[in-house]
Structure 1
Amino acid sequence: MKSTPLTLSALGAAAVLALAGCSAPEPNNPAEHSTHDMGTTSPSDASVDAAQNEADEMFASMMVVHHEQAIEMSDILLSKRGLAPEIQQLAQDIKDAQSPEIETLRTWQEQWNVPSEQPHSMGEDDGMVSEENLEKLRQAEADEG
Structure 2
Amino acid sequence: MLKTRTLFSAAVAVAAALALSSCAGGSPAGTSASSSADASVAVFNDADVTFAQMMIPHHEQAVEMSDDLLAKDGIDQDVVDLATEIKAAQEPEIAQLNAWLTEWDAEDNSMSGMHDMGDGSDGMMSDDDMMALQDAAGTDAGQLFLEQMTVHHEGAIAMAQIEIDNGENTDAQAMAETIVTTQTAEIAVMAELLAAQ
Task: Report if TM-score (shorter chain) is over 0.5.
Answer: yes
Q: CA 1:61–1:138 in structure 2 vs 1: closer, same or farther (change >3 Å)?
A: same
Q: Of residues 116, 125, 132 in structure 1, which corresponds to 2:128?
A: 132
Equivalence map 1:59-70=2 (5 Å): 59-70=51-62
Per the normalisation by structure 2, the TM-score is: 0.49
Per the normalisation by structure 1, the TM-score is: 0.64
1:143 CA displacement: 2.2
Equivalence map 1:102-121=2 (5 Å): 102-118=94-110, 119-121=112-114
What is the count of residue pairs matched by the alignment? 110
Give the gaps of 5 or more residues in structure 1.
1-19, 31-44
Could you tell me how far apart the structure 2 residues matched to 1:87 and 1:66 are? Answer: 20
Higher relative contact order (CA 8 A, sep 6+): 1
Could you tell me how far apart the structure 1 residues matched to 2:130 and 2:56 are? Answer: 18
Deviations 1:34-55 (A, max 9, x none): xxxxxxxxxxx88324342211
Q: Of residues 67, 79, 87 in structure 2, which corresponds to 1:87?
A: 79
Deviations 1:50-83 (A, max 9, x none): 3422111110010001000000000000011101
1:28 CA displacement: 4.2
SS at match of 2:91: helix
Code of the aligned partner of 1:128: M
Could you tell me how far apart the structure 2 residues matched to 1:49 and 1:58 are? Answer: 16
Q: Of residues 68, 75, 81 in structure 2, which corresponds to 1:76?
A: 68
SS at match of 2:107: coil
Q: Of residues 115, 139, 142 in structure 1, which corresponds to 2:138?
A: 142
SS at match of 1:126: coil
CA contact (8 A) 2:62 2:87 kept: yes
Identical aligned residues as a percent: 38
Could you tell me how far apart the structure 1 residues matched to 2:22 and 2:60 are? Answer: 23
SS at match of 2:40: coil
Q: CA 1:74–1:96 in structure 2 vs 1: closer, same or farther (change >3 Å)?
A: same
Aligned to 2:31: none
